[in-house]
Amino acid sequence: MEKTPLLDEYYRLWLLLSQTRSAIFKVRHKKVGQYLHPNQAAALVSIWALEGQVTPATLSRRLFLEPHTVSELIIRMEKKGLVTKRKDKKRGNIVRISITKKGREVCRRAMGQDLIRGIISSLPDEQREQLWSSLSILYREALKELGMEGETLLLP
Classify residue 81 by its DSSP letter: T
71/74 Cα distance (integer angstroms):
5
35-111, CATH topology level: Arc Repressor Mutant, subunit A (1.10.10)
Q: pLDDT 10s per residue in the chain (156 long)?
A: 666 666 788 888 999 999 998 898 888 888 777 778 888 888 998 898 888 678 999 899 889 999 999 999 999 999 999 999 988 777 777 899 999 999 998 888 777 667 888 899 999 999 999 999 999 899 889 989 988 877 766 654
51/96 Cα distance (integer angstroms):
9
Rounded to two decimals, the pTM is 0.78
What is the predicted pLDDT for the residue at 156? 40
153/50 Cα distance (integer angstroms):
11
What is the predicted pLDDT for the residue at 108? 82
What is the predicted pLDDT for the residue at 62? 87
Domains of the chain, residue spans: 35-111, 113-148
What is the predicted pLDDT for the residue at 3? 64
Cα-based distances in Å from 110 to 28, 116, 140, 151: 7, 11, 28, 28
